[in-house]
């Protein structure tokens, strides 16, 4: 059985990209909805960081407005995240029931 636009797997697939952190620098990022869309009131976006084995390293919550999700994480916080750690960017929409997607995922790269 196939479905229209069958990607070869079930479920939502996050975009796989490395997250680059530079020693001594903060993490600054802005993500905006595309094509004039907006984030519904109550939307949350966060980056969850783990060790390669899945141990918790922290969560960085974005400041979310209707037009952007932004991060400005201090260098001192970023410096504690080792290379080869893992991250997942989760967006949660205030639907009923609440819906959470993994938008991005990947490995942490240090420079």
Instruction: Give tens-digit pLDDT for 24-47.
Output: 999 999 999 999 899 999 999 999
Residue found by looking up tokens 């109550």 in the block: 42
Q: What distances in angstroms separate CA 110 from CA 48, 78, 107, one per listed residue?
A: 17, 10, 10
84 secondary structure, DSSP code: T
65 secondary structure, DSSP code: -
pTM of structure:
0.88
Q: Distance from CA of residue 37 to its chain's centroid?
A: 18
* Every domain of the chain and the residues it spans: 15-110
Parallel, antiparallel or unpaired: strands 19-21 and 99-110: parallel
Topology adopted by domain 15-110: Immunoglobulin-like (2.60.40)
CB atoms within 10 A of CB 87: 22
Residues in the chain with pLDDT values less than 70? 1-7
């Amino acid at each position: 059985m196939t479905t229209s636009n069958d990607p070869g797997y079930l479920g939502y697939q996050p975009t796989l990209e490395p997250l680059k952190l530079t020693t001594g620098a903060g993490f600054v990022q802005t993500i905006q909805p595309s094509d004039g869309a907006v984030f519904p009131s109550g939307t949350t976006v966060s980056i969850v960081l783990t060790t390669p084995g899945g141990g918790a390293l922290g969560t960085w919550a974005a400041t979310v407005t209707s037009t952007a999700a932004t991060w400005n994480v201090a260098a001192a916080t970023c410096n504690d995240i080792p290379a080869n750690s893992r991250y997942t960017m989760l967006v949660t929409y205030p639907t009923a029931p609440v819906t959470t997607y993994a938008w991005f995922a990947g490995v942490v790269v240090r420079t």
